Amino acid sequence: MLKSKSILIGVGGGIAAYKVCEVVSSLFQSGAEVRVILTETAQRFIKPLTVATLSRHQAYTDKDFWQATHSRPLHIALGEEADLFLIAPLTANTLGKLAHGLADNLLTNTVLASRCPILLAPAMNTEMWEQPIIQRNWEKLKTDPRYHGVGPGSGLLACDRIGSGRMAEPKEIINKLNSLAYTQGKRDLKGKRILITGGGTREHLDPVRFLGNPSTGKMGLALAQAASDRGGMVTFIHGAIASELLPISPDYKIIPVVTAEEMKAAVMTHSEQSDIIIMSAAVADVKPSDYANYKLPKKELPTNLKLETVVDILSKLGNAKKPHQILIGFAAQTGDIVNPALDKLKRKNLDIIVTNPIDKKGAGFGTNTNQAILIDNQGKQKIVDSCSKLELSHQLLDFIVA
């Protein structure tokens, strides 16, 4: 989603500036046009040469701002070119200036001379971040629809403290930029309560053996992020998630479960007040009839496993659906993906079904990309060609909103 986008990055003076180098490099590799502004204090931590090398473009500093040239003023040119603006690390000083509309260097002047969405990634020592004046500035800034926040999280800080104020990780920042590139900052799900399930459920035979599936939770996490980035109040109920995708973003409510029965209980508790429910979880269809609460020795393992079906959560939701609710199911199919999905759409009383092939390269379980056909209960269909799971999520949300 970032290919050919013009991304402007303003780097503030904090030790987290070193992490921005990774962001610059990733964005360049995604095909984005990256321009970087370094404040005076940012240059104490990283050099213009570092970001210029990574972005394959000159880095800009206040020295360039005050240079006499015949071309247009630098802040105007940079501001007009940008599709997205990232400020990372956002220091207490720059935050204060932005919250009060002040501009005294290239970075802050470019903010005022641009119109694109701005993503802010604050980084501060915990004492600084928790100061009431800093929190007031932060909240004030976020009332302006132009500004979007990422982090800060908690963790080990450069001052040897463990606390809040740690800049969001590069991966999180890149994810947010991807969302912003798609939405251009629209918050069309503001005020909507959205329940999303993801990951795979597991049905244990004993404490170490289970029936499960290869779901990693990538699709569910992408949906939760996209819905939350568009202003929705998201509750994410999830089964097993691949460890490299953890920890989950603190932007929304997270409820971990293991079995289908636990997922049903959590879903039923939260479904009534939800406006949109998206069941993307890969729920195991059967469970062993017997469970041993100790590790079964090999000789006690059954050679024929007696199974029973688990509850169909989506059908239960379909039966209890309220007039204001939109219910979306997934169908992971092989072969014909449309007819079985149409059957599920009807049988489970859904509004929309997302049917996706799991026998195609780059689609289905564990992949970063997916493809699907979105079908609504009026017969409208939308084909989504292979794209990132985040983009598929946004396309689905557009389909829901429409």
Active site residue 21: no
Residues 334-373 within binding reach of ligand CTP (CB under 6 A): 340, 344
For ligand CTP, the closer CB: 149 or 340: 340
- Smallest separation, CB 189 to ligand CTP (Å): 20
Rule CB under 6 A: say whether 138 interacts with ligand CTP.
no
Local structure of residue 323 (DSSP, 8 states)? T
Amino acid at 258: V
The binding track of 282-301 with respect to ligand CTP, each residue x by CB under 6 A or -, is -x-x----------------
Q: Which residues pair with 122 in a beta bridge?
A: 90
* Span of 48-56, 133-141, 231-239, 276-284 interacting with ligand CTP by CB under 6 A: 276-284
Q: Does 330 bind ligand CTP (CB under 6 A)?
A: yes
Say whether residue 260 binds ligand CTP (CB under 6 A): yes
Site string for ligand CTP, 72-111 (x = CB under 6 A): ----------------------------------------
Which residues, at least 6 apart from 234, have a Cβ–Cβ distance to it below 8 Å? 194, 195, 196, 224, 227, 228, 251, 252, 253
Buried b (16+ CB within 10 A) or exposed e, 16-38: bbebbbebbbbbbebebbbbbbb
The window from 33-41, 68-76, 235-243, 329-337 that contacts ligand CTP (CB under 6 A) reads: 329-337
264 contacts 284 by C-beta, under 8 angstroms: no
Region from 102-110, 160-168, 209-217, 326-334 binding ligand CTP, contact rule CB under 6 A: 326-334
74 or 281: whose CB is closer to ligand CTP? 281
> Shortest gap between Cβ of 240 and ligand CTP (angstroms)?
14
Q: What is the rounded CA–CA span in Å between residue 244 and residue 113?
A: 39
- In this structure, the strands spanning 369-376 and 381-388 are antiparallel
Instruction: Extract the tokens encoding 128.
Output: 């600084």
CB contact set of 169 (below 8 Å; sequence gap of 6+): 19, 153
Q: Torsion angle, CA of 280/286/292/297, rounded to 10 degrees? A: -100
Does 281 interact with ligand CTP (rule: CB under 6 A)? yes
Catalytic center residues: 159
Question: Residues interacting with ligand CTP, by CB under 6 A?
Answer: 260, 279, 281, 283, 285, 310, 312-314, 329-332, 340, 344
